[in-house]
Each structure stands twice: as structure tokens, then as C-alpha cells.
Chains A and B, each alone.
Chain A
Amino acid sequence: MAITNRVPFEDKDFEQEQKRKIIEVKNISFQYSSQQQAVLQNIDLHLHSNEFVCVLGPSGCGKSSLLNIIAGFQKPTTGEVQIEGKHYSKPISEIGVVFQHHNLFPWMKIKENVGFGLKMKGHSKEEIEKQVHHFLQLVQLESAGDLLPHQLSGGMKQRAAIARTLAADPKAILMDEPFSSLDALTKENMQHHLLLLWSETKKTIFFITHDVDEALRLGTRILVMQPNPGKIAIDMANPLKRNNPAAVDFHHKEFQELRSYLIGAIKTS
């Protein structure tokens, strides 16, 4: 274990900022019945309002498992998850999920996909139409509303999936490597969009990625997980976001140091 516990970029003022707890992960352990090793062990984690949490870690360390538990898709072996103090163990509409594969409903037009959450909650047709228009505009897909998902490009599908999740108005959004299948240019464009959306909607975002630059660019807070069993090794505020959380200064003097620190942390695990 080569990592010291020293976090080199501590910034008390930044961390002490008053924040409301949205999701609490309480002492969670998780193990597949078919396996010897626990996938996750004694994880404690609080996600706060208006926080953009990026999760890094080597492949197989349990990032997706943690996300699935927070989403309510999977039940932890021990421990529990709470949203604003309430326990839950099933998928709930307060927690939205964006998948690695867009996962749009293939037979529904884009606007029906985006309006799905509102329809399930029994909103009126006019209200749904208004909201759908708003969210399609937000992700710049106004003209694609009447198309089916398979008629869209990869980036457009992923934006539609984000709009669908946003339109259901969750308190927190969980994203599992949502941009990993996109080309570099589209990816950068999507990151830009997501940052804008986040600063507009003030939602808590839990974002899994294996791309350190992406984490530094997006996250206000960065977690690094380590495997066997999965645990959170680093939990730090992103110093590059100190002044303006919606933008990142890649020329910041700390950037290179920070980057190699995180890459080192992922590698040594």
C-alpha cells in the first residue's frame, strides 16, 4: 500500500461549506453469493446537495456495485442507504440513473422517453409537453423529439437519456460511465453540457468514470476506490473547482500534480 493518507490539497474553508445531506450510505457491505470475497466492505458515504461527486478506481473494484446499491437495484448484504433520512431498498424516483448504455425505451419517441417520468406521476398532457420541450431544449435536442432512439447518434442518445432522468426531477442523479462509449470530441462537448446542467439544476450528481481528467474537470469532490474488498481510499474536494465549480482551469499549477497523484492512487491499488 504505497498511498499515504495525506491528502495534499486540503482546503478547510472549501470543505466546511454548509451542505445538506441528500444520500447517506451507512456501513454497507456487499457480497455476491457466488463469490468468496466481499465486493464492498464497510462503506460510509454522504452525498450532499449541489455536490458533483466523481468516483475513480480500477476495473472491478466495485464502483458499479456501489451505484447499483444507491440506486436501489441491488440490496446490500449489510448496512443501509437513506435519502434525506428515510431508508429505502427499491428504485425510487428521487434518485435518477443514467446508464453506460443509454437504455432509452426503443419503441418510444424521444419526447415520450423524456416525458416518461412525468407521465408515471400522472401529470397532465399539457404539463408534460411543456416540461419535455424545456428539457429537450436544455440538452439541445428540440428537433429530435419525434425520432425513435435508434435514429439518433450515440451522443444524442446519451443526452436524451440525461434529459429523461432530469425531467423526472430526482434529488440525485447517478451516472455509470455515461460518456465512456463516446468519441473524444463528443465526450468533451457532453462534459461541457453536463456542467451547465448541473450548475443550473443544482442536483447532486454521483458520477463514475475511469478517466482522471474527466473527474478533475467535472467533480467538486473526487473519490478513489480500491479493490478486494472495495473501499473508499481517497475522498477529497477538487481544488481546481475552488473558485468556479462550473469551470476548470487546466493550466492551474496544481493540475499536473493532482493528476499524477490520482493516477498513482488508482494504479497502486
Chain B
Amino acid sequence: MEKLSFEISKEVKFRGISIVSVVVLVIIWAIVTHFEWVDPYFIPKPLEVWSSFVVLLSEGYKGASLFTHIANSMYRLFTALFLAFITAVPLGLLCGYSKYIRAIFDPIIEFYRPLPPLAYYALLVLWLGIENESKIALLFLSGFAPLFIATAAAVEKLPADRMNASLSLGATKRQLFQYIILPSCYPDILTGLRTSIGVTYATLVAAEMVAATNGIGWMVLDASRYLRSDIVFVGIILMGIIAIGLDSLLRFYQARRFSWVGK
């Protein structure tokens, strides 16, 4: 108990330091803009950004509410992630199981994985049009690889003793898969999913900036054309907060569910 409360108080201390760091950053921002050391066109005042946010909330941006823009982006993100999850995980498990199957898929994945997504985005737009389909395909491709690689690696590093132990306890091949192999891989799959979300999210914003008529990424790019740096700031801050929120949710789940990992 003693040790636990000690750890918590340490945790609180680090949190405190982080909060102070953010507050100091905002204060510097306020000072710099207050004395107009930088052209206000480049860096708006914090209060202006806040009031732009309030206006965006009530009036939306170019015909759609702020919520709609975010929802459009999230729809693309999660459709792609869902598709990536239901394909990359089973394929990763198969490839972890069999070197032969892995040999079939490895060259394809290893080839496209290091390519910058925007490089093949042009092709996807050509094939699927400028609407959601091409974006979802793009996001799917960028999210697929990390999830696939994490899953296959998880199967490959399964300890032989663990599998032997369960077979000696009478598990059949099917039971071995269901009760030992899958649960052993869950933590790594979740870590893969977190990487996947990060990559996909970055690709999403980029894709909306290249070709879109809505979405949070598009809003930022469009606002910059009209030198509305206040709206650009709102957009960027929102994007950051959404990303942190998504990752914290998964991290929280990971810590609760997989407290045993690495012990």
C-alpha cells in the first residue's frame, strides 16, 4: 500500500509538471502576441483563437458545422481502421503461423509500406474519385501495414514452453489457438492498433488537404488560403486534442486489461 500511494503521488507530480509546461507555453504565446513581436497575421492572440473557436462552434465553417467537419474526418478514419483491423489481424495471424503464407504477402507489404501515402494517393483518386472511397482506401493502406506486422510478430515470438504447457494440459489445436495464441497476441495487436491510428490520422489530414470539400484537415487548408490563421490554429489544436484523446483511451484500456504484460 505504502509503495502504491508513493507511485501515485509521483504520477501526480509528473502530471503537474506537464500542466505547468503547457501553461507556460500559452503565457509565452500571449506575451509574444500582446506586444506584437510577430505579425498578427502569422500568430493570432490566444483570446482571438478562443473566440474564433466559439464562432466556429455556433456558425460552422463554409456551410457545415464544426461538428460535421470532425465527424466526416472521423468517419473516414474509423471506416478505414475497421477494414484494416478485420483484414490485417487475421492475415497477420496466418503469416505468423506459416512461413509459406508469409512469403507470399511479405514482398507486397514491404514494398508499399515505406512509400509516402500521398505518392499513391494520386492513383487512388484516379481510380476511385475524389470522394470518400479514395480517402478510405488510402487510410486503409496506411493503417494496414503496422497492424499486420505487429500481429505476425506477436505470433512468431510466442514462447514454445507456453504452447507445450497448454498441449500437455490437454488443449486441442483449436483450443490452443482460442485460449492461448490469441490472448497472448492481444497486447501486441493493441499496440499495433495504436501505431496504426497514429499513421492513419496523419495520412487523413494530409489527404484532406490534397483533395476534399469537408473535414477538419480541409478546413485548416482552406482557412490558410484566406489568411485566417486563427481558424488554422483552432483546427490544429483540435486535431491534436482528438489524437491525444484517442490514444489515451487506448492506453487506458491497455493498462487496465493488460496489466500482466512484461511481468
Q: Which A residues contact B (CB, under 8 angstroms)?
A: 71-73, 90-93, 95-97, 99, 101, 103, 105-107, 116-117, 119-121, 148-150, 164-165, 168, 170
Q: How far is the CA of A95 from the CA of B183 in the complex (A)?
A: 25
List chain A residues, Cβ under 8 A from B179. Answer: 116, 119-120
Q: Is the CB of B170 within 8 A of A121?
A: yes
- Taking a contact as CB atoms closer than 8 A, the residue among B166, B168, B261 that contacts A92 in the complex is B168
**B contact residues around A164 at 8 Å (CB):** 169
Cβ-defined partner of A148 (8 Å) among B164, B184, B259 = B259
Question: Are B161's CB and A116's CB within 8 A?
Answer: no
Pair A105/B180 contact, Cβ less than 8 Å: yes
**CA–CA, A117 and B168, complex, Å:** 8
Asked if B260 contacts A91 (CB within 8 A), the reply is no
**B165: contacting residue among A92, A103, A119, A170, CB under 8 A:** A103
19 sampled A-B residue pairs with Cβ under 8 A? A71-B168, A72-B168, A91-B167, A92-B170, A105-B165, A105-B166, A106-B260, A107-B184, A116-B179, A117-B169, A117-B170, A120-B166, A120-B171, A120-B179, A150-B260, A150-B263, A164-B169, A165-B168, A168-B170
Residues of B in contact, count (CB < 8 Å)? 23
Q: Does B82 contact A (CB under 8 A)?
A: no
Q: Who on chain B is nearest to A68 by CB? A: B164
A residues less than 8 Å from B170 (CB atoms): 92-93, 117, 120-121, 168
A120:B183 contact, CB within 8 angstroms: no
Instruction: Report the nearest B residue to A74, measured CB to CB.
Output: B164
Contacts A107-B258, A120-B175, A150-B263 known; A101 to B161 CB distance under 8 Å? yes
B92-120 residues at the A interface, CB under 8 angstroms:
none
Q: Are A116 and B169 in contact (CB under 8 A)?
A: yes
Q: Which residue of A lies closest to B259 (CB)?
A: A148
Inter-chain CA distance A168–B171, complex, in Å, is: 11
Apart from A93-B168, A97-B168, A150-B263, list 4 A-B contacts with CB within 8 A. Answer: A105-B183, A107-B183, A120-B179, A148-B259
With a cutoff of 8 Å between Cβ atoms, the chain B residues found around residue A149 in the complex are 260
Residue among A105, A117, A170 facing the most chain B CB atoms (10 A cut-off)? A105
Q: Determine how close the nearest CB of chain B comes to the CB of A6; give it in whole angstroms.
A: 38
Question: CB < 8 Å: which of B160, B165, B175, B180 contacts A97?
Answer: B165
Contact A120-B263, Cβ < 8 Å, known A97-B164, A103-B162:
no
Q: Which interface residue of A99, A107, A121, A168 has the most chain B CB atoms within 10 A?
A: A107
Q: 10 tightest A-B contacts by CB? A: A93-B170, A150-B263, A91-B167, A117-B169, A106-B260, A120-B170, A91-B168, A120-B171, A168-B169, A97-B168
Are B167 and A90 in touch, CB under 8 angstroms?
yes
A105 to chain B, nearest CB (A): 7
Interface 0/1 of B226-263, CB less than 8 Å to A: 00000000000000000000000000000000111101
User: B172 near A: Cβ within 8 Å?
Assistant: yes
CB-CB under 8 A from B261, the residues of chain A are 106
Interface residues of B in 8-63 (CB under 8 A from A): none
How far, in Å, is B18 (CB) from chain A's closest CB? 29
One of B160, B166, B172, B184 near A116 (C-beta < 8 A)? B166
| Chain B residues in 8 Å Cβ range of A117 | 169-170
Bound CA span A106–B183, Å: 10
A105 to B161, CA, bound (A): 11
Q: Which of chain A's residues have a CB closer than 8 A to the CB of B259?
A: 148
A103 vs B258: C-alpha distance when bound (angstroms): 17
A96 adjacent to B161 (CB under 8 Å): no
Which among B164, B166, B263 is the interface contact of A71 at CB below 8 angstroms? Answer: B164
Closest to B161 in A: A103
Nearest opposing residue in chain A for B258, CB measure: A107
With A106-B263, A150-B260 as known contacts, state yes or no: A99 contacts B169, CB within 8 Å. no
In angstroms, Cα B162 to Cα A99, docked, is: 10
Q: A167 CB to closest chain B CB, in angstroms? A: 9
Chain A residues closer than 8 Å to B160, beta-carbon distance: 73
Asked if B175 and A107 make an inter-chain contact with CB atoms under 8 angstroms apart, the answer reads: no
Q: CA–CA, A92 to B169, complex, Å? A: 7
CB distance from B152 to the nearest CB of A (A): 20
